[in-house]
Amino acid sequence: MPAPIQPAVLSLAPDGTPYSSVFDDVYHTSAGGLGQARHVFLEGNGLPERWRGRHRWVIIETGFGLGLNFLATWKAWRDDPARSNRLDFISIEKHPFQTADLARLHAAWPELAALADELRQSWPALLPGIHRLHLDHGRVTLTLAFGDALEFLPQLVAQADAFYLDGFSPARNPDLWSPAIFGQLARLAAPGASLATWSVTGHVRRGLEAAGFGLERRAGFGGKREMLTGRFANGNPSLAQATSRTALVIGAGVAGTSVAERLAARGWQVSIIDEADKPGQGASGNRAGVFRPLPSLDDNRLARITRAGFLYGRRHLDALARAGHPVRWSPTGVLHLGRDAKQEGKQKAVVDALLPPTDYLRFVDKDEASQLAGWPLDAGGWWFPGGGWIQPPSLCAANLAAGANQITLLMGRRLTQLNQHDDGWHAMDAQGSEIARAAVLVLANGVGIRALPQAASLPVRPARGQVSHLPASPGSAPEVVVCRLGYVSPEVDGVRCAGATFVADDTCTELRESEHQDNLDKLDFILPGYAKPFDPATLAGRVGFRPASPDRLPMVGAVPAVAAIERTTPLADIPRLPGLYAATGFGARGLVWASLVGEMLASLIDGDPLPLERELVDALDPARYLLKPPRPGGGGDE
């Protein structure tokens, strides 16, 4: 079980320098933090000169602290007309500051005020894991890892052009200046990567040299006589990048449009093929879907990926709205009730152990739950204040509007065959005519992926889901989403959604009275007595087919080129079909995963640092099923 994030406590030394009582050390020299950032880290890494003419420049920092090094770098990048196209800044922080404390600290540098304000507006919840922020109209990406550097550096998937080594003093924080850390820096170094630090301590120099860095002492800043710079002579192969920045996405649902928007944001030309007449049909066509994470006491992979997806998804929804492309959604809050007293106790234990921020998750007893729901309940459970409902077609439309200049829609076209050629992938229709071609192809067509031989190794199962539409008046209870072996939404356009059934390997499309009854039974379990006025024989509804996976995690990444392989083969050694990727297997959690999956797949395709830990990237890899027998069942949700 991960330790909860302990925020930094704002303290000041007698001269006003920010100070950590935990490490008994200052955050920067008393001679001036901004001057130190510029002299030691920017000049020490040969910046801004070295990023000029580059498409992307990647920096990894050990110790975010106040964010001063990041802000100084961002400002220098903005002020340089010959800057790289993009700036990727990755930083690890075990004890991040609260937003209010950052505001007090940043007030000392008025020349950074506008950038600092933008940073604080995007500042993530203090929860463990990797948080990706898009700043400066998407040109600057800040990837924050909240947790211990010894745990997170091995989990980063990136190639750094420069390192900022800026932890607390080696005497005060020795773990951050250890051989284990230096070895990870070498693993993450791009060819010719540089480093800079204010520390010239002997064991630091020896450890960096042993890891492969050639070092040089230079004049230090303020009261420090010397500082250290270095270069990594060898470097690791750069992350793969496509030479032609054209992509073809199959499927215009939340998965496909999310991938397309993230690729478009990177300057790719994207075509989307879908056999429907408009985007957001199929499994993405419901009126209201649930948007919330799913915690666990052991913070397992499912919990971590849904947390990351929820937090990134909230930021994506906000970004779309700021850009003038608002999604139809409402952060009403989501109430997730315990199934019984035993599960209710487990839910409380999760909150007590993980101590999440209360604006992310708290436990409520049945009385408070009843107040929140506006209905007498027999159980308490989790309350997610920032969760809510999303109308999936509106998310698809907003994604497409955001990437409008880069995205071409090819609706009403049915893909029946994929052909691989020297110039990439060609999508063909039933008459053998070419629909479109591109260097990269992404399969995000839900259960339709099963018809393509190239994806035969992916165990996608269709899961029929019927949602019941209940007549509802505005302001009627519940005005929040409530879940308990099913879900019920607030009123949306005179209708309340309740459901949903989950029937694997059933492809029938008609509404069934029996499944309406199942949904009403679930509704009565959620809100006792609520379903009594409704007749299953007269209800409207909708049927969709979710692409489910055996282990309840989506399949995101490069598609394997083989149908079977020795099960001891490392994932990285499994051959892949060049330029072919999948984003499928979302089950009932497409809304919480789609935006993050779009960013992850676009990062993977474009050669960016990835927005998830390596072990979670591996947990989503479509090739994982070649290495272990799939678990029976899976893919459902409450």
From 8-22, 32-46, 212-226, 519-533, the region with the lowest mean pLDDT: 8-22
Pair of tokens at residue 203: 């064991």
Distance CA 561, CA 567 (A): 15
Return the bridge partners of 133, or none. 142
Nearest by Cα to 265 from 158, 410, 139, 157:
139
From 242-251, 338-347, 365-374, 475-484, the region with the lowest mean pLDDT: 242-251
Per-residue pLDDT averaged across 443-447, rounded? 95
Q: Are 586 and 594 in contact (CB under 8 A)?
A: yes
Distance CA 57, CA 628 (A): 38
Angle of the 590-606 helix axis to the 392-402 helix axis, nearest 10: 30
pLDDT above 90 (res 31): no
pLDDT above 90 (res 595): yes
- The pTM assigned to this predicted structure is 0.95
Contacts 24+ apart (CB under 8 A), 449-456: 449/250, 449/547, 449/582, 449/584, 451/416, 452/415, 452/418, 454/418, 454/559, 454/577, 454/580, 455/559, 455/582, 456/563
User: What's the confidence (pLDDT) of residue 284?
Assistant: 79
The band of 102, judged by pLDDT with boundaries at 50, 70 and 90, is very high
Distance CA 42, CA 36 (A): 9
From 168-172, 261-265, 377-381, 438-442, the region with the lowest mean pLDDT: 168-172
Average confidence score pLDDT of the chain: 93
Question: pLDDT per residue over 109-152, tens digit each?
Answer: 999 999 999 999 999 999 999 999 999 999 999 999 999 999 99
Distance CA 404, CA 264 (A): 8
Percent of the chain with pLDDT over 90: 88
pLDDT above 90 (res 324): yes
Question: pLDDT per residue over 155-165, tens digit each?
Answer: 999 999 999 99
pLDDT above 90 (res 472): yes
C-alpha pair distances (Å), 444 with each of 239, 447, 571: 23, 9, 22
Return the bridge partners of 227, or none. 218
pLDDT above 50 (res 274): yes
Q: Which amino acid is at 77?
A: W
Burial tier of 537 (Cβ tally within 10 Å: 0-12, 13-18, 19+): exposed
Distance CA 152, CA 92 (A): 7
Question: pLDDT per residue over 376-392, tens digit each?
Answer: 999 999 999 999 999 99
Per-residue pLDDT averaged across 234-238, rounded? 65
The band of 426, judged by pLDDT with boundaries at 50, 70 and 90, is very high
From 25-34, 312-321, 539-548, the region with the lowest mean pLDDT: 25-34
pLDDT above 90 (res 89): yes
Per-residue pLDDT averaged across 470-480, rounded? 96
pLDDT above 90 (res 312): yes
* Cα 312 versus chain centre, distance: 5
The band of 635, judged by pLDDT with boundaries at 50, 70 and 90, is very low
Per-residue pLDDT averaged across 176-191, rounded? 95
Q: What residue ranges in 348-406 does DSSP mark as E strands?
A: 362-364, 381-384, 388-390
Domains identified in the chain and CATH numbers: 11-232 (3.40.50.150), 246-283+393-457+550-626 (3.50.50.60), 334-385 (no CATH), 461-548 (3.30.9.10)
| 3-class SS of residue 100 | helix
Q: Are 253 and 79 in contact (CB under 8 A)?
A: no
User: What's the confidence (pLDDT) of residue 101?
Assistant: 94
pLDDT above 90 (res 282): no
pLDDT above 80 (res 633): no
Question: pLDDT per residue over 499-542, tens digit each?
Answer: 999 998 888 999 999 999 999 999 999 999 999 999 999 999 99
